[in-house]
Each structure stands twice: as C-alpha cells, then as structure tokens.
Amino acid sequence: MPVPADPSATSRDFTPLRGLPGRDAIEIVDQTRLPHDWVTLRIASADAAAAAIRTMQVRGAPLIGACAAYGFALALRTDAGNAALAAAHALLLSTRPTAVNLRWALDRCLRLVLPLPVSARADAAWREADAIAAEDAALNLAIGHHGLPLIEQLAQQRTPVQIMTHCNAGALATLGLGTATAPIYLAHRAGVPVHVWVSETRPRLQGARLTTWELRAHGVPHTLIVDDAGAALMRQRRVDIVLVGADRVAANGDVCNKIGTYAKALAARDNGVSFYAAVPSPTIDWTLADGDGIPIEERDAEEVLSPALGAAMIAPAGTAVANPAFDVTPARLITGLITELGICPPGGLRPLFCT
C-alpha cells in the first residue's frame, strides 16, 4: 500500500532496490511516485524489470545497471539456454540507450554464465547481480571519501559551503550514498556546514522530486531553484562548487549527464566556479574516444508538454517538441572527475585506471 513519503519515516540509508531472499524477485521503490508516496513493487521477471527501467520507476545509471543484472538473472530461472540468454540480454539492453552501466552489467553477467552448465546459470547470475549491487555501494563510499576534502578545503574559506547539483545522482540512483551526493553526505556527517542548491531538472523534475526528498531525509540544508537560476547564482558568487553525476563518460573525459548539465558547466567556467563530475568506473566507456559518439536518448513529448502527472498541457495541442534526455559536457569545461580511485583531470582517466 502507498504510504506518505515522509523522509523522517524512512531509513536514513534507504535503498531503492534489493534482491529478495528466495532469488525469485526483487523489490524496487517506484520513483515515479516520489515525493508524495513511498511505494515498493515486486519485480519477478525480466519483462517487469525492463518495464521498470523503461518507465523510470528505476532510474539513475548505477541503479539501472543493477536492476538489469537482476532482471537477467530472473530470466534464467525460466530458461537458461543460450537463446534465452541472448533474448534476455537484448530485451534489457533495449530499455534505455545512454547510460553505459546498463550494457556493462548485462555484458558482465553474460560473460560469467556462458561457460557454465545450464543448470548452474541462474544462481550464478543472481550472485553476480548481488555482487554488482554491493560493489556499487562500495564505489559510492570511495567517491565520497575522495570528494570530501574538496568540501573541507572550501569550508576553510567560507561556511556553509555552497554546493550546486543537477538532477539526482544520489542514493535513489544507486545502491549506496549516491555519486555526486556521497561527498555531501559525508561532509554533513562530519559536521562540515553545507548548503545545496538543487536545480529542478526539467522536464521530469528529478531534482525537485527526488534530490530534495533525499537531502531532507539526510538532514542536509538545501534550496530548490529553477534550472536557469544556476547561472545567476554563480554570477552572484553564491556557489562555491558544482557537483554532478554522469551517465556515460568517454575516455577523454567528456561527461554525458542529464540535460542542463552542459549549461551549468558553461556558467561555472565563466564565473570561476569549480565543476566536478562523480564518476564510478562502470560509467566510463573506454570504447569511445570522445563524447560525440554517445547516443542521446530522445524521450516522449508528453514529458515536456505535461510534466506533472495528470496536469494540463503547457503548450497548444500539436506543438512540436524535442526532448533530449541528456547532454555532453566537454572535458575542457570540467575541473576534475571524482572516481573511486581518486580525483583526476578529465584527461587523466587512462593513467588512473590503466597503469
């Protein structure tokens, strides 16, 4: 049954997805119902997992990857033959094109089970999905510890530290503390005064609906702003640092993230504000030299024309709509990438991970 989505009534370290003990289903939080209702759903098939990803009941690059891995494992409980493996992989991969974690998780599971006897594949795939989930929590924590000194150093100059973020790269998008939010949560827990500017993130309003909900749950001071207010706040010297997540990062450090990220990076550069992206290694696409090759998901016009469920249309009927869900921020605009191995300049990914 739906319950009021009061963060004070929910675990501080809530998780939006968990595998159930019988290995026959997962439980997800329906993120389309937040912030008004905390609704959990039982997902017991690859088809249901694919639908949850496609409709954004499950969203956020790391969480999509984990959900797809569990969906793959669920498919193998019915049929673990080679044809079924390929079909489950293709079904789940087709759900959303931009976040590379989806393919990474599915390819990882497929590689693991292919050499195994058919009878052993379903359990092995489930264990691998569990491992992906646990690793994501650990990656989040490592990113948090590497990003924390950035906030602590700023706190020596001014408090509270004024942080701007975009979309939701938090606990609801991952299996842990989030990526961009992990340094914020660790700073808050350590007693470092922080304040977060949360851009609403049109058209699906992940900042307004999800990030504000999360920050309230963690007790972090924050203020919601319309997307285009970010540049003005930077010009007024009211922002110390911008922290965002990533859905896919090219080998040269170009960052693909929610639409509107590029605009914030441009404003940050013009106003001398540091701009960092939190990047766990599964989000790096080593096959792409730069961000020009990243596929940008084009979503339904209805999201723009009627951003609130059941709300009246905000433009005349028949208005043409473009709804790219992501944009690419060039590496030249990025101060640094916060990874589980440390912080590096955008061009420093290969030396950090491949030496």
What number is the average pLDDT over the span 254-281? Answer: 98
162 and 127 housed in the same domain: no
Q: Which DSSP state fits 313?
A: P
Q: 183 and 98, same structural domain?
A: no
Nearest to 295 by CA among 324, 252, 271: 324
Q: Are residues 172 and 47 in the same domain?
A: no
Number of structural domains in the chain: 2
CATH number of the domain residue 88 falls in: 1.20.120.420
pLDDT band for position 309 (cuts 50, 70, 90):
low
- The residue out of 107, 135, 163 marking a domain boundary is 135
Same domain (yes/no): 98, 176: no
Domain termination site, one of 135, 163, 192: 135
- Do 270 and 327 lie in a common domain? yes
**Each residue's pLDDT tens digit, 1-21:** 344 455 544 444 578 999 999
Assigned domain for 144 exists: no
Q: Is the pLDDT of residue 355 over 80?
A: no
The answer to whether residues 294 and 354 touch, using CB atoms and an 8 Å cutoff, is: no
Whether residue 164 sits in one domain with residue 100:
no
Q: What is the pTM of this model?
A: 0.95
In terms of domains, do 122 and 167 share one? no
| Domain limits for position 101 | 3-135
| 299 and 322 both lie in a single domain | yes
My answer on whether 117 and 246 are in the same domain is: no
Q: Which CATH number do you get for residue 294?
A: 3.40.50.10470
Residue 143: inside a domain: no
Q: Would 67 be classed as within a structural domain?
A: yes
How many residues would you count in the chain?
355
In a domain, 142, yes or no: no
Q: How far apart are CA 90 and CA 72, in angstroms?
A: 10
Residues assigned a catalytic role: 247
Query: How is residue 341 written in tokens?
Result: 């191995």
The pLDDT tens digits for 313-347 are: 889 988 999 999 999 999 999 999 999 999 999 99
Residue where one domain finishes, among candidates 105, 135, 165: 135
**Residues 99-155: pLDDT tens digits?**
999 999 999 999 999 999 999 999 999 999 999 999 999 999 999 999 999 999 999
pLDDT, average across residues 258-282: 98
| Alpha helices (H) in the chain, listed in sequence order | 46-54, 61-78, 82-93, 100-113, 118-155, 182-189, 206, 212-218, 229-235, 261-270, 302-305, 349-353
Question: Is the residue at 314 inside a domain?
Answer: yes
Residues in CB range of 74: below 8 A, 6 or more apart? 24, 25, 26, 43, 44, 45, 46, 49
Answer yes or no: do 129 and 50 share one domain: yes
C-beta of residue 102 within 8 angstroms of C-beta of residue 282? no
The answer on 90 and 120 residing in a single domain is yes
C-alpha 142: how far from chain center: 16
User: Is 141 within a domain?
Assistant: no
**Token representation of residue 279:** 């990047």
Question: Residue range 243-265: average pLDDT?
Answer: 98
Q: Do 65 and 206 lie in a common domain? A: no
